Structure 1
Amino acid sequence: MYKAILKTLIVSYLLLISSFTSKALQEDFDLNGKSSFLIENTSSDTAFINIENWYTIPWKVQKIDTFILKNNSFYTSLISQAKDYFNLKINNKAFKIFSKPGSIVQIIYQSEDNINFSGSEKNVNEFLLKKGNYFQSTESDWMPRVRFTHNTDEFEEIITANDSITKLQQKFLTDNKMELPNWYFSFERKRLNYLNAYWKLNSLMYRKRMLNKSDSLGPQFLELTINDLSINDSDMLGNKRYMNFLSDFIGYKSDPMYENKMPSNTEEWIVFYEHSIDVINQLLTAEVKDTYLTFTLLIIIERRRYIFNTKWIENIEGEELKKLVLQKYEANPILPKGSQLPFFLLTDSAGNRIKSNDFKGRILLINFWATWCKPCIKEFPYENKLVERYDDQELSVVNICMYSDKKTWKKYIQKYQLKSINLFAENSWTSKIEKDFGIRGIPHSVLVDENGKVFQNKCARPSEDISKEIDKLLIKDY
């Protein structure tokens, strides 16, 4: 009786909040947006819950791992800045769930094959459940497309394949139009088109920069890719696929056909980012420009704080977003200079157990990588050169492999003739290392002084002339 009363009170409270939520808040991008999430477990056993919710500003993920006893409920508030999807797993079965600012998402879990929805997005989430069953995957956005990017010789085949996949998804959407709100039908139709354009642009970039393939394209490639899509679409603002599209569109306009080499030192990265900001100012307008600039600057702070120029913030017109970027820049970063190197105990390729404090008395450059990470692999020749250059000095270059298969890791050590000290992070260490070093993407490098104190977390990579900083430590000029 008590549980039933509590559930009723929670639902009533959520509905009361919803009644005060404005249409603008629900429909538009909201930096501080939230959605309510209530799941009821009416099955005969415990339900294990995993939620992964990526949001745009800053580009991060909200993760929830919990369990719900039978005949119990779980409530949480999710960050919800735009109309978008989050990933839900119940007892390891995957579901794609939709929310927007102000949404109330209610799920009644009876069994793996019996899940029902209520709340403000009931019809949309029922459609997504039906779509997942139809395509036999909740990852229909990218899973059928990715193999064409990697395994197709002619780029025209990639274009044709992506168009065909999009048509299938659009047809499924149209076939179910009568079950959906008009606003969602219009939104999802546009989202699928932005996804199609984004994937073509991203495939071109990936094949050029990661696979070293030079594709031949017609003179109207960009125009045909974009077609009638609006570049400045405030209705799609904050949605991951639209933001992905803007990122690759800006990248293509900054460097058509991706002919320029990627920056290889600090000065080149500054020029690269300033050129990108100029292109953003030229092509984007109003709230789209402000939001995308904020998105871009926060990524630079996250990945290359050491080159960030606060003057770039002046390109943002909105005071709230300006303030946010400045606060993120001035906030104390994870592992600021002088922090103690976090402890780790990992195995090397010979099976020896290596501790972080085994390197005391030596300057340490740690590079985190994975076997599937092409930018990480591109760093290997530069790492080997550092080992050779500082062979007779107190420097250790340590590569820590994460998120990877151990056999493949050992194979890559031999394949690329790695001269660094090579350590492997088992699953049990991965989450601790991620948290301790603030890893949001790889490659990720950390420079540590001879006393085991962090000199710079997220420092320049070996390819970006990190030797300048190493030399400062060696001569104690810092």
Structure 2
Amino acid sequence: MRLLFFILLACLCLNHLKGQSLDKIGDKNQRLEQGISLTGKNATITVINQTKDTINLKGRISFYLPISEGLIEEKIAPGKSSTIKIKMNYADFVQFTSVLFSIYTAPGKNVRCIIENKNPIKLKFEGDLSDENNYYQDYFKVARSNNVYYQAGGQIKDFNDFPALADSINKLNLDFLKNYDRPLPGLFKEYEFWRLMYNNAFLKHHVPFDLSFKSGRKMKLDSGYYRFDKETPLIGPSVQLSSEYLWYAVFRLRDAAINKNKPDSLLPATMLAVAENEFEKNEIGDVVKMRLLYDAYARSKSNYEDLLRGVTFANPQNRKILDSVSQARFSLPLMGKKAPGFRLMDGRGNTVELSQFKNHLIIINFWASWCAPCIQEFSFENKIYSMYKYSKNLLVINVCIDSSLDAWRKLSAKHQLQMVNLFADDVQTEYLKKQYNISSLPKSILLDGNQAIINNNFKRASEVRLQDLD
């Protein structure tokens, strides 16, 4: 599954959780594995190169609480080492792509990874979480990846049989954990069991969503399809906070909200209402609500402010923390400043510069070929462009990032994009993500005739009204 593109370089704070391991919080005594620091606390990874080759180490950091992303690039000569410090909120994986392996770490931990051989990769771990990392190196050699779920879902005739099929896939992963013959801390084994369970439950929600979008048809699910949710509680003594838990919680709340049969425009509010009912006064519930509210801010600041007023938190300080973090994250690029320039390719292969389009009111939309909400906006983008290109001198510029050239061309032709339609390669994508603070997709920016930024987090096209362009 493509990376869920929810990204934030700031972190949240719950002071009494900082640095604790498997502590109990909230009214329901949730247990948090390997330490939680919602302020963000450094995890240290030392990579030692014992091979005869220089290792160019590249990796991507992607966490979901509330969101963070970063890139790692290190060149390690033979016999040398490199120390990487990463601000983390909870235990998760750091994934390397130039040499394919992952390291499991957590806030406040110091993991030492020795690369004994590059091809095939052979690793040795010392220091904190060494037993856990040895387990994961063995696990990833035999585990059924999430891709297997999507492949199976694409072949099944009656999708109501999918939960049982998913369980059979997950059983192979659970059996590996159960039969693992090297020593593991008992609490980690419990954590890993629930991580696998929440990942499995998330995929039961997400695979039909993904297939429905790609096929353009709604999946026919029986009223009892979601009965598997009873096996994976949102609150309770078994709850372990992880990315997999948060993925699952968001999609479970989403599907519960959709079953309320409210208009799509009310989906964020309905999800939060369901969360209020599910979690009551519970600090893991605070984390989930913060996640939902952060996503709402990425979509619309005004909508976020309306939603925030109606949400209750077990820890009232979390409201202030979320508000300050969200505003800090979305304050860039600064409003009133000139928009960062770019030179990109259009559909004819010509190079187009932003500076060419002076004296226009401009909406820049950033999207990707794998982003379902982005593609759903295309018809609305065509509509507002045709409606206001003369009366408001409006120009709409669509910029495709984080996608293949072929996928961009096919989608552009399929949806008959009428606006200025540009493509960014990998290098250009990284530049745009940094300059325009792209933390979620779709993302829109509104510029005035001098290309100064009027709104750095403009509404989606489906939400734009005439008064928004005044």
* 1:58–1:358 distance in 2 versus 1, CA, 3 Å: same
Tell me, in whole angstroms, the C-alpha distance in 2 between the residues paired with 1:246 and 1:404: 28
Tell me, in whole angstroms, the C-alpha distance in 2 between the residues paired with 1:28 and 1:234: 16
Aligned residue for 1:324? 321
Tell me if 1:451 matches 2:450: yes
* 1:65–1:309 distance in 2 versus 1, CA, 3 Å: same
Tell me, in whole angstroms, the C-alpha distance in 2 between the residues paired with 1:467 and 1:47: 55
Amino acid at match of 2:363: L
Amino acid at match of 2:104: F
Which structure has more helix as a fraction of its residues?
Answer: 1
Aligned residue for 2:277? 282
Report SS of the residue matched to 1:245: helix
Aligned residue for 1:98? 104
What is the CA distance between 1:178 and its match in structure 2?
A: 4.4
What is the CA distance between 1:291 and its match in structure 2?
A: 1.7
Tell me if 1:156 matches 2:154: no
Amino acid at match of 2:323: L
Counterpart mapping for 1:8-19 below 5 A: none
What is the CA distance between 1:107 and its match in structure 2?
A: 0.5
- 261, 264, 275: which one pairs with 1:262? 264
Give the structure-1-normalised TM-score.
Answer: 0.84
- Cα deviation 1:295-345 (Å, max 9, x = unaligned): 222222233223221672661232442231121244371123212111001
- Cα deviation 1:95-138 (Å, max 9, x = unaligned): 12222333221101122232211112111111111122234xxx
CA contact (8 A) 1:379 1:462 kept: yes
Aligned residues: percent identity? 22
Larger relative contact order, structure 1 or 2 (CA cutoff 8 Å, min sep 6)? 2
Aligned residue for 1:171? 175
- Cα deviation 1:369-410 (Å, max 9, x = unaligned): 222323222222212222321343422111111222223323
* 1:194–1:407 distance in 2 versus 1, CA, 3 Å: closer
What is the CA distance between 1:78 and its match in structure 2?
A: 2.1
- Cα deviation 1:333-373 (Å, max 9, x = unaligned): 11232121110011211222211111111111111122232
Amino acid at match of 1:345: R
Residue ranges of structure 2 left out of the alignment (5+ in a row): 1-18, 24-32
- 114, 124, 137: which one pairs with 2:132? 124
Aligned residue for 1:243? 246
Report SS of the residue matched to 1:216: coil
What is the CA distance between 1:28 and its match in structure 2?
A: 4.4
Tell me, in whole angstroms, the C-alpha distance in 2 between the residues paired with 1:407 and 1:274: 37
Report SS of the residue matched to 1:315: coil
* 1:157–1:93 distance in 2 versus 1, CA, 3 Å: farther
Report SS of the residue matched to 2:124: strand
* 1:274–1:469 distance in 2 versus 1, CA, 3 Å: same
- 31, 42, 65: which one pairs with 1:34? 42
Aligned residue for 1:57? 65
Counterpart mapping for 1:221-236 below 5 A: 221-223=225-227, 225-233=228-236, 236=239
* 1:83–1:347 distance in 2 versus 1, CA, 3 Å: closer
Tell me if 1:220 matches 2:256: no
What is the CA distance between 1:274 and its match in structure 2?
A: 2.9
Amino acid at match of 1:283: E
Tell me if 1:385 matches 2:383: yes
Report SS of the residue matched to 2:455: strand
RMSD of aligned C-alpha atoms? 2.5
Amino acid at match of 1:360: K
Tell me if 1:337 matches 2:345: no
* 1:221–1:120 distance in 2 versus 1, CA, 3 Å: same
Amino acid at match of 2:168: S
CA contact (8 A) 1:82 1:237 kept: no
Residue ranges of structure 1 left out of the alignment (5+ in a row): 1-20, 264-270, 473-478
Tell me, in whole angstroms, the C-alpha distance in 2 between the residues paired with 1:373 and 1:159: 25
Aligned length: 437
Tell me, in whole angstroms, the C-alpha distance in 1 between the residues paired with 2:189 and 2:455: 48
CA contact (8 A) 2:58 2:99 kept: no
What is the CA distance between 1:151 and its match in structure 2?
A: 5.0
CA contact (8 A) 1:28 1:237 kept: no
Higher gyration radius (CA): 1
- 298, 301, 305: which one pairs with 1:305? 301
The worse-fitting range, judged by mean Cα deviation, of 56-65 and 184-193 is 56-65
- 340, 352, 355: which one pairs with 2:353? 355
Aligned residue for 2:12? none
CA contact (8 A) 1:103 1:120 kept: yes
Aligned residue for 2:16? none
